[in-house]
Amino acid sequence: MNLLESLQANKRQIPEHYLTMNVTELEERAWAVKRKLGDRLFVPGHHYQKDEVIQFSDATGDSLQLAQVAAANRKAEFIVFCGVHFMAETADILTTNEQKVYLPDMRAGCSMADMADIHQTNRAWEALQAQFGDTIIPLTYVNSTAAIKAFVGEHGGATVTSSNAEKMVEWALTQKERLLFLPDQHLGRNTAYKLGIPLDSMAVWDPIQSSLQYEGDIEKVKVILWKGHCSVHENFTTKNIEQVRKQHPDMKIIVHPECSREVVALSDMAGSTNYIITEIEKATPGSSFAVGTEMNLVNRIMHQHPDKHIISLNPYMCACLTMNRIDLPHFVWCLESVEDGFESNRIVVEEGVAKLAKLALDRMLKI
Ligand code: 13P
Ligand code: SF4
pLDDT of 233 higher than 70: yes
Q: Which residues of 119-139 are buried (b: 16+ CB within 10 A; e: fewer)?
A: ebbeebbeebeeebeeebbbb
In this predicted structure, what is the pLDDT of residue 22?
A: 97
Confidence of residue 11 (pLDDT cuts 50, 70, 90): low
Atom of ligand 1 nearest to the CA of 256: 4
Please name every residue paired with 347 in a beta bridge, in sequence order, or none if there are none: 101
Predicted confidence at residue 8, as pLDDT, reads 53
Residue 329 above 70 pLDDT? yes
Mean pLDDT value across the chain: 95
Q: Are 270 and 282 in contact (CB under 8 A)?
A: no
The predicted structure's pLDDT at residue 68:
86
Q: What are the pLDDT digits (tens) for 147-201? A: 999 999 999 999 999 999 999 999 999 999 999 999 999 999 999 999 999 999 9
Q: Indicate the pLDDT class of residue 65, thresholds 50, 70 and 90.
A: confident
pLDDT band at 6 (very low <50, low <70, confident <90, very high): low
**Ligand (nearest to CA of 317):** 2
* 8 Å CB contact between 86 and 145: yes
CA distance 71 to 163: 17
Q: What is the pLDDT of residue 344?
A: 82
The closest of 53, 47, 85 to 66, measured between CA atoms, is 47
Overall average pLDDT of the 61-65 stretch: 86
For the stretch 260-264, contacts whose Cβ atoms lie closer than 8 Å and that sit 24 or more positions apart, written own/partner, are 260/186, 260/234, 260/236, 261/186, 261/189, 261/190, 261/193, 261/199, 262/238, 263/236, 263/237, 263/238, 263/292, 264/186, 264/190
Q: Check whether 70 has a pLDDT greater than 90.
A: no
| C-alpha pair distances (Å), 341 with each of 100, 104, 272 | 11, 14, 37
Q: Are 123 and 210 spatial neighbours (Cβ–Cβ below 8 Å)?
A: yes
% of the chain at pLDDT higher than 70: 97
**Closest ligand 1 atom, residue 258 Cα:** 8
Residue list, ligand 2 pocket, CB within 6 Å: 48, 84, 110-112, 143, 230-232, 294, 320, 322-323
- Whether 5 shows a pLDDT value over 60: the answer reads no
**Is residue 347 pLDDT above 60, yes or no?**
yes
More confident residue, 343 or 198: 198
Q: What domains can you pick out in the chain, each with its CATH number?
A: 3-108+322-354 (3.40.50.10800), 113-230 (3.40.50.10800), 233-312 (3.40.50.10800)
Name the DSSP letter for residue 177. S
